[in-house]
Chains A and B, each alone.
Chain A
Amino acid sequence: MDSNNNGNRFYLNLNNDRQAYPDRTYPTTPSTFPNPIFPSQAQGGGQQAQAQSSQQQQQQPYSTGFAPSGYFMNNPYPPSYPQQPPASNYPAPQAPQASYQQRPAPTNPNDATNGLVHQFSHQNLGGRASPYGGARQPSPSQRPRTAGATGQQVSYSNYLNAPMPAAPQQQNWPEFQPAPERNPDKYGPLAQTNQKRCAQLAEAFFKDSVRRARDRNVRQSEMEQRLADPNQSQARREQTWSNAGKQEGKYLRFLRTRDAPENYQTLKIIGKGAFGEVKLVQKKQDGKVYAMKSLIKSEMFKKDQLAHVRAERDILAESDSPWVVKLYTTFQDADFLYMLMEFLPGGDLMTMLIKYEIFSEDITRFYIAEIVLAIEAVHKYGFIHRDIKPDNILLDRGGHVKLTDFGLSTGFHKLHDNSYYQQLLQGKSSRPTNRNSVNLDQINLTVSNRSVINDWRKSRRVMAYSTVGTPDYIAPEIFSGHGYTQDCDWWSLGTIMFECQVGWPPFCAEDAHDTYRKIVNWRQSLYFPEDVQLGPEAENLIRSLVCNTENRLGRGGADEIKAHKFFRGVDFDGLRRIRAPFEPKLSSNVDTAYFPTDEIDQTDNATHMRIAAEASNQPRVDAPELSLPFIGYTFKRFDTYANNR
């Protein structure tokens, strides 16, 4: 086939093409750029060759020092190569091997142009006369099983000292360079770090790319369906096409630009904790409003929260559910991880409970039904939330529920670490001493003591932002260390429902230590106060959720709970479309009236820290995306620009 046939197969053709070599202008060279050259075009070949071989000898100590002994022992050919006087150098066919070793590239013996070498080279080529015949040995059979076997080294050096040429032996040369025993330890710690980083990034690249391509194909076929709709006008169709193209283009532009906190203006701090803060921010470029969570990398690292950060990023990135707070992008700098999320102006259920103390049964039914659907959505993505509590139940502008905080932010417990809980269970009170003492003995918990409860709630908000978090809603099996399943989230639902109806969570106590004990002994400690009027269905539902996992409703799926008679008449499918009992009244899209901003220190620590770090002028060697524990954290959602209001 010839190269004119350019539509189909292009053979880099044998003889024709080769003629083109020497005079080819290769490559097309733009003004600022370098040319590749063939060694033949290099100046002063003979001299160069000599210079190279002497250079080579100078470098020899380095070469042997640098190159792994394991490698050399396994490779019969090159070890003593640099030690040979140039004249008795190995012949041509072998020589280019030097170029794929850690060896000066110019040790191309062809450059050592002298007759002897050529003679040898011809001999060797002759020895290759039936080069692909039976003499070929697959490389594995040549490969010594053990690196560093000294006996082999001896035999190789004998071989190498043996008089040249050993033509018959050379017929045994393998077709391919034999694989040495892998020896990663020959490199220093930097290479080890880079190795991990490299492997992880390459894997993340393909994973992300494939996902993006898949999503893109879905979007494209959706667009094609719209284009195929005969009822659409031509103008509308053009619109559809160009909008799709622009959205895809914006996303690509978004992917290739690096986001940074400087691109956002802080409006207000709406949450704060030991690991970072949540701010209401506005993107400077387009004025769009987001909630930005910033997490301190060093704290996450110290407190062993990396798995949790990663889990949250994963579920938020993967889910595309109205029941889960939307994550638009994650990025990082040297000190912080950032999560850019949708801002839900309705605040959270904890704030609502502080404000209203208890809900009527109808209102309780609405929220609990929505939380059922939200938990179901999370489970469908294959996640277990494990930390469902009123602080993690956010309300959107319509007053509907969305879940957030998948394993971090407020409740940074080591959920997987049983010993942590064991310690808590055995230890003394972990209560901070500066906290207002609130006597929450069970006996005192009556409706008449609402003010006490509210004190407790306020202290709980402090608790919520601490690293410990509140254990009030956590299922006992999580403490036990004997494993847990998705139904631990249904326990939490039951405790929240209890709180909506009764006014406090069923196991609340003065400190976390007592709460743990109460939860573990739930059979004794679960108690419905007599002065609280609770419908029988409501109490029954709570009791079928706050119970041992074998009997817990929801074990067989959310439908079991939806079918409970407490929810009789609830249209679960249309729930999100009905009007919520409390619709936030907002003066603007940046209204934070539903956030206790006056209780939160408005010092913007993240910004301060960043500016301080910049001022300290420490050289940042690596791009922050590359700090090993946080590789793959960076995420960019397609519709970041599309559907954000």
Chain B
Amino acid sequence: MPPLPSSPSLSQTLSMDDSTGSLPSGDALSFYNLPRPKPIWLNDSYAKHIVKGNFMTLSARPKTVEQGEWIAHQVVEHYRNLWNFVRVIHDKDEEGTSICNSQTCPRMSAGANHSFTWLNARKEPVEVPAHEYISLMQRWISGKIDNTAIFPTDPAGVSFAYNTGNPDIASATYASGGLNTPGSNTPIPAGPTALTTSLSQLAGPGDWVGKSSGFPVDFVEVCQTIFRQMFRVYAHLYWAHFIDPFYHLSLEKPMNSCFSHFVLTATEIDMLKPHELEPMQPLIDLWAANGTFPKESKAYACANLKAGERLLSLAGVN
């Protein structure tokens, strides 16, 4: 058992423990301590998409493209997508009111179990209303993306990935490019890629992902943070705004498609670690079980298939 909470508000965790104790053993969902009834977006009928097919090809790095360049591309694409949904809840109307505001969402929450804080000037975590959190997030991310020292734009600086299929080129110095090449038979000098290994580790000393293309040494770290922030915002959109307004505006399918593509990409290019998916884990499980995530994807590997299948059967899908 986890250590008993010292803070009263941890009693929540405690009561969840009690609840799991009274459940029939083996329910793959019990761990998540989901509210009852479960959020509508875990119902397969509302977890559908505007697109079909295997979207790995949108996420997987093309062989010749340098890894940093690909990550930069994905960061920008997913940020544009996310902002497309955020705008719906974040924009203020003529009276200065937004759908997400400090009354509806006094915290940046993702269900009862998660809320996110912002670090203030003294680097202390502070709770801010979701609307403000999202504004801060936007300012922070666009500050990074628009900074050409972090996201260079000069076409002359573009590099390429070293050719893992070509031993002569593989011996060259482009160690940063050879990560995670799908389908490559050639052993990658930097070592096998594992879910637990960070990209910066793989790049080796004195070298880093994106170096040859002019990305800075902390580029991967910055991008991982951006992805983590974007994930939090998606989590808030699902937990706090799925019905109000996205479902009412019939935007839940586009949001499902963009978010599932986001998860697929973020895991594929190691921008999010499996444990970071937690607030949305049941939906990821569901998407693994209902075929949204291809079996060969890392997102699928991150999922608890049993939990997903359980959700499917609860929704009456066989």
Contacts and interface: CB of A to CB of B under 8 A. Distances in A.
Interface of A: 6-15, 17-19, 21-24, 26-28, 30-46, 48-49, 55, 59, 62-63, 66-68, 71, 92-97, 99-106, 108, 110-111, 113, 118, 121-122, 124-126, 128-132, 136, 138-140, 173-180, 182-184, 186-191, 194-195, 197-199, 201-203, 205-206, 209-210, 213, 216-217, 220, 223, 234, 237-238, 241-242, 244-246, 248-250, 252-257, 285-286, 641
8 contacts: A36-B116, A39-B112, A45-B7, A49-B9, A93-B19, A205-B258, A234-B168, A256-B145
The 8 A-B residue pairs with the shortest CB-CB distance, nearest first, are A245-B160, A45-B9, A96-B35, A45-B8, A245-B64, A40-B10, A202-B254, A249-B158
Contacts of A33: 119, 225, 228-229
B155 A250 contact: yes
Contact of B250 (A67, A176, A184): A184
A32 B163 CA distance: 36
B65 A198 contact: no
A106 B290 CA distance: 32
B interface, how many residues as a size bin? 35 or more
A513 B28 CA distance: 76
B138 interface: no
Contact of A198 (B7, B88, B238): B88
B180 to A, nearest CB: 13
Nearest to B272: A27
B251 interface: yes
A438 to B, nearest CB: 51
Contacts of A242: 64, 160
Contacts of B306: 11
B301 A10 contact: yes
Most buried by B among A100, A121, A129, A183: A100
Contact of B9 (A111, A179, A203): A111
B274 A10 contact: yes
A78 B260 CA distance: 30
B184 interface: no
B275 A68 contact: no
Interface in B8-36: 8-13, 15, 18-19, 22-24, 27-28, 30-31, 34-36
A102 B244 contact: yes
Nearest to B256: A202
Given A22-B5, A195-B88, A245-B66, A39 B12 contact: yes
Contacts of B8: 44-46, 49, 113
Given A36-B110, A179-B40, 12 more contacts: A12-B281, A18-B31, A39-B12, A40-B5, A41-B7, A93-B36, A100-B35, A108-B112, A173-B36, A176-B42, A195-B250, A256-B77
B39 interface: yes
A100 to B, nearest CB: 5
Contacts of A101: 243-244
Given A99-B239, A246-B158, A175 B315 contact: yes
Interface in B166-218: 166, 168-169, 194-196, 213
Nearest to A625: B80
Contacts of A24: 275
B248 A128 contact: no
Given A40-B12, A93-B35, A100 B239 contact: yes
Given A94-B36, A187-B99, A253-B158, A99 B119 contact: no
Contact of B153 (A22, A108, A129, A253): A253
A550 to B, nearest CB: 43
Nearest to B3: A22
Contacts of A94: 35-36
B103 interface: yes
A248 B158 CA distance: 9
A104 B18 CA distance: 25
Contacts of B110: 36
A12 B160 contact: no
Nearest to B302: A10
Nearest to A238: B169
Nearest to A93: B36
A195 B251 CA distance: 7
Contact of A37 (B3, B23, B115): B115
Interface string B276-304: 11110100000000000000000001111
A252 B69 contact: yes
A45 B168 contact: no
A35 B2 contact: no
Contacts of A285: 154-155
A139 B111 CA distance: 21
A12 B304 contact: yes
Contacts of A237: 166
Contact of B117 (A35, A189, A252, A255): A35
B84 interface: yes
Contacts of B127: 42
B36 to A, nearest CB: 4
Nearest to B70: A252
Contact of B81 (A13, A66, A179, A205): A205
Nearest to A179: B40
Contacts of B230: none
Nearest to B284: A12
B257 A202 contact: yes
B84 A256 contact: no
A68 B106 contact: no
Contacts of B87: 194, 197-198
Most buried by B among A23, A42, A129, A176: A176
B107 A97 contact: no
Contacts of A35: 116-117, 119, 125
Contacts of B248: 68, 71, 180, 182-184, 186-187
Interface in B73-93: 73, 76-77, 80-81, 84-85, 87-88, 91, 93
B107 A34 contact: no
B158 A256 contact: no
A99 B43 contact: no
A179 B44 CA distance: 12
Given A10-B302, A108-B112, A36 B155 contact: no
B304 A209 contact: no
A326 to B, nearest CB: 18
Contacts of A220: 62-64
A297 to B, nearest CB: 20
Contact of B104 (A46, A97, A102): A102
Contact of A213 (B58, B114, B145, B225): B58
A241 B1 contact: no
B150 interface: no
Most buried by B among A103, A131, A255: A131
Contacts of B115: 36-39, 42, 105
Contacts of B62: 216, 220, 248
A30 to B, nearest CB: 5
B38 interface: yes
Given A100-B239, A217-B57, A67 B19 contact: no
A250 B243 contact: no
A176 B160 contact: no
B9 A223 contact: no
Given A101-B244, A138-B316, A191-B88, A255 B103 contact: no
B135 interface: no
Contacts of B196: 6
B249 A187 contact: yes
Given A244-B64, A256-B151, A187 B245 contact: yes
Contact of B65 (A62, A201, A245): A245
A458 B11 CA distance: 86
Given A175-B38, A182-B248, A201-B84, A206 B51 contact: yes
